Amino acid sequence: MLILSVLASSDFQLKKVIKAKPDGAHLLKKPSTGTVPRVMGIIDGYGYMLLSNQLGDPVTFNYIDISSTGTAVGAGDDWCSVSSASTPYSLGFSMPYYDRTITDVSICSNGTVVLENISRYVGFSNAMLPDSNYGFVGFIAPMWDDLNPSQSGADDIYFQSFSSCPDGYSGACAVVQYHLVPRYGGSVYMDFEVVFYDNGNIKIQYNSAIDYNDATVGMQDSSAAEGSNPDWYIQYVYNGTPYTQIPDSGTAILFKLIPIQSGDAIVMDVNPDEYIPTAPVDVEAQIYNADTLDLTGFLLHLDIYDTVTNTIVFSDDQSVTLNARSINTVTFSTFTPADRSYYRAVVYVTDSRDPDPTYDTASTVFRTHVRVGDVLDTMALRQPPLLGYNFSFITYNDLRARFFISDFYGGVYSFEPRNPSASFRYENWAFAPIYDPYVNHTFSIANDGDSLFFLSHLEYDGWYVYSQHVATYSEVTPGVFAWTGDTINLLSLYSAISYGMDWDGEDQALWIVASDGSNHALVEVSATDGTLLRNIPLSGILDVPTGLTILDYTGEFLISDGKFVYRLDTLGNVVDAYYTPGALGAYDLAFYPSCSPGDTDPVVVYAVAGDSLNTVMRVATGYYCDQLVSIAEKPKVERENVAFHMKGRTVYLTGAEGMVQVYDIAGRRVATFNASSPYTFNRSGVFFIKTDRKVFKIVVQ
């Protein structure tokens, strides 16, 4: 039976789904929604520093296995040792934790260890930090999720205290190990642990593959939950954000308590990072003052390197005041970057009062050169009567010069890209009566650039997809789109849910990205008879892919999985991938042929995020408009000779098949014709003819 992952409104609902799973149903992967959580920097407001080997920090993975020597706590499902069994566990020493001293802990089955107010229960419904749903609790969360140590095949949670820590630390430590513990209903039995040190440091280590869904990893003080010290917490990852910090086997995360040192300053972070526009920029650094006194006239230095030539192109010195025991933002003088360049900014302490060189230097990389996936602009289209989370898939229609967006809840909208908010409107579609109205959900959308649209429909009861068809629509009167009667049964072609679609005019076919939750593929389906033309397996690095668009200039594919944007070649190989940290995930993409002659702007797609604001984004493809001529002239697939000859303004092709696209010098598609017939240009100029095998540059006199 095919099972896809599902985003339930609560873990309790997810439990019910797993326990009552009908045969032949497909669980639907939906876009992650909700507020993007604020991820703390390197040091929180009290003085805990976050270090992780995933981030390249000097943290040693040194697992302490106590599954044969420690005490089994006998954890049940949705259980905490104090609130459920009146059993605290003594660390065997006194440990500083924020402004308190901890001697006993409560071990909870759902991946948390309670350190403050240990009589409190912390349940399976995890959230972003700081969290107060279970009261004002201070806790460490190595994997806060709906875990079940009492599930069949699971082992238990173990506890053991050491007077001399076996990982090489000279002092005492205590270990809480989750040994062979799965997520509720899961089949991955995880092994991870928390190590508490008598100096206040806390380490999390993962010794197995991790069945990650939306778990919270981090720690908080009870006063952060209460709100009196709102920045006394560190969140490492929540709900898959940041994607690069989802733990795996061998991951080690250290929460290090920074000791008070006179005159000591730590360079935490430097910004900007990743892509910035070509405009003057002020480099900023986050500096932590580990002293209990303000540091006045403190000296810091900035060097900016051109990473291509490895030369310093800008330097600056700042004399600043750093507030005691807090994070300070230092802004350096303005730097003007060059277009399409790569830089590294290094900030370091030059003040002679600093006693400890550790963490005195930090750096960042930034660039003015776009890469695939860079979010260049965002627009919110939450307009009455829409309330958010409406947008699913997007397509661009050449004939109307508008983007069309499908709504999972039964609607199609459109907007003109140069003024989305003012031009946004509801389109009048007479939907195909494929299923009962209560389970007939509109889903992915594509069009042929002219008058035909393709809209997939799901038979979906709120939990499961039972069937999926693509219906063809045409515009019967201005602004009214009706079903033509043509339908393709997708689940009869391949056992997977179809997500993003795009039109291939050369083959008169639809390209679709499909997934069964684990296996992903690019499939090509004939729009005339519904036959499966090609099935290309996709790289295993993708999460469940949702968005798809074809780059008309290159024949490549752009695919998104809600976290990354990937550029794939015609064989389905990933040739570039990028994720902009902190940006909304792109759920679906649509190519926008917007370049003008002499334009040096980035080539973009438009994307929908499926969030509460109905956000639409302009996303870079990694190409620039002035590169399009050289890109367009590259042959695609050399299968046999293709030739053309001109007679006046009429072109004749030989050796080509199917439909042929005509682009002007700006890369805009201006015509489509069948290769078996001649085509006559209506004006002079430079054009590109794209066949099924090659692209020709033609000068029409």
CATH 2.60.40.10 maps onto the chain at: 265-367
289-322 pLDDT per residue, tens: 999 999 999 999 999 999 888 899 999 999 999 9
- 596 falls in which pLDDT band (50, 70, 90)? confident
Beta bridge partners of 465: 26, 460
What is the rounded CA–CA span in Å between residue 174 and residue 43?
Answer: 24
Separation in Å, CA 328 to CA 135, 290, 300, 413: 31, 11, 12, 46
Beta bridge partners of 558: 549, 567
What is the rounded CA–CA span in Å between residue 35 and residue 306?
Answer: 36
Percentage above 90 pLDDT, the chain: 60
* pLDDT of 474 over the 70 cut: yes
Most confident residue range from 25-34, 531-540, 568-577, 640-649: 531-540
Pairing of strands 274-275, 361-367: parallel
Q: What are phi and psi of 294, to 5 degrees?
A: -65, 145
Q: DSSP label at 374?
A: -
* pLDDT of 324 over the 90 cut: yes
Residues in the chain: 701
Sign of the torsion angle spanned by Cα atoms 299, 304, 310, 312: negative
14 sits in which H/E element: helix 11-19
Averaged pLDDT for residues 540-569: 86
* pLDDT of 632 over the 90 cut: no
Q: What is the pLDDT of residue 32?
A: 38
Would you say 215 and 234 are in contact if contact means Cβ atoms under 8 Å apart? no
What is the rounded CA–CA span in Å between residue 159 and residue 71?
Answer: 5
What is the rounded CA–CA span in Å between residue 13 and residue 1?
Answer: 21
* pLDDT of 10 over the 50 cut: no
Q: Give the type of residue at 285.
A: A
What is the rounded CA–CA span in Å between residue 227 and residue 231?
Answer: 9
What is the rounded CA–CA span in Å between residue 632 and residue 646?
Answer: 20
What are the DSSP calls for 382-425, one per residue? --TT--SS-EEEEEEETTTTEEEEEETTTEEEEE-TTSHHHH-E
* Residue 45 CB neighbour total at 10 angstroms: 18
681 or 12, which is more confident: 681
Q: What is the CATH number of domain 265-367?
A: 2.60.40.10
Strand blocks (E) in 226-357: 233-238, 252-257, 265-271, 274-275, 281-289, 295-306, 311-322, 327-335, 342-349
CATH 2.120.10.30 maps onto the chain at: 384-586
Averaged pLDDT for residues 374-388: 88
* pLDDT of 230 over the 70 cut: yes
* pLDDT of 19 over the 60 cut: no
Pairing of strands 685-690, 659-664: antiparallel
Would you say 412 and 402 are in contact if contact means Cβ atoms under 8 Å apart? no
499-529 pLDDT per residue, tens: 999 998 878 899 999 988 788 999 999 988 8
Averaged pLDDT for residues 531-536: 93
Q: What is the pLDDT of residue 581?
A: 54
- CA distance from start to end of the chain: 61
Strand order in the sheet with 679-680: 643-647, 650-654, 679-680
Would you say 180 and 191 are in contact if contact means Cβ atoms under 8 Å apart? yes
Q: DSSP label at 379?
A: E
Question: Is residue 675 classed as helix, strand or coil in its secondary structure?
Answer: coil
What value does the CA radius of gyration of the chain take, rounded to a whole number of Å?
29
Averaged pLDDT for residues 177-202: 96
Q: DSSP label at 149?
A: T
* pLDDT of 579 over the 50 cut: yes
Give the position of tokens 């660039």.
367
Beta bridge partners of 454: 446, 472
Q: Which of 178-182, 382-386, 619-623 has the lowest mean pLDDT?
A: 382-386
Most confident residue range from 20-24, 564-568, 657-661: 564-568
Averaged pLDDT for residues 626-641: 54
- 25 falls in which pLDDT band (50, 70, 90)? low
Tokens found for residue 621: 């493809």
Sign of the torsion angle spanned by Cα atoms 602, 607, 611, 615: positive
Fold of 633-700: Immunoglobulin-like (2.60.40)
Question: Is residue 243 classed as helix, strand or coil in its secondary structure?
Answer: helix
Most confident residue range from 193-207, 410-424, 598-612, 626-640: 193-207
What is the rounded CA–CA span in Å between residue 196 and residue 256?
Answer: 11
Tokens found for residue 49: 């520093």
* pLDDT of 427 over the 60 cut: yes
- 482 falls in which pLDDT band (50, 70, 90)? very high
Give the position of tokens 């508490």.
196
Q: What is the pLDDT of residue 665?
A: 66
What is the rounded CA–CA span in Å between residue 178 and residue 191?
Answer: 6
Closest-CA residue to 234 (of 202, 266, 208): 202
Q: What is the pLDDT of residue 264?
A: 95
- 233 falls in which pLDDT band (50, 70, 90)? very high
Percentage above 70 pLDDT, the chain: 90
What is the rounded CA–CA span in Å between residue 648 and residue 663?
Answer: 19
What is the rounded CA–CA span in Å between residue 495 and residue 517?
Answer: 11
77-126 pLDDT per residue, tens: 999 999 999 999 999 999 999 999 999 999 999 999 999 999 999 999 99
Separation in Å, CA 658 to CA 503, 647, 674, 692: 14, 21, 6, 7
Tokens found for residue 175: 């270990």
Pairing of strands 71-72, 89-97: unpaired
Closest-CA residue to 31 (of 392, 441, 420): 392
* pLDDT of 23 over the 70 cut: no
Which distant-in-sequence residues (6+ apart) come within 8 Å of 464 by Cβ? 22, 25, 26, 27, 28
Tokens found for residue 494: 């391949």
Q: What is the pLDDT of residue 27?
A: 55
Closest-CA residue to 156 (of 224, 217, 68): 68
Q: What is the pLDDT of residue 49?
A: 92
Q: What is the CATH number of domain 384-586?
A: 2.120.10.30
* pLDDT of 495 over the 70 cut: yes
Mean pLDDT of the chain, nearest integer: 87
* pLDDT of 268 over the 90 cut: no
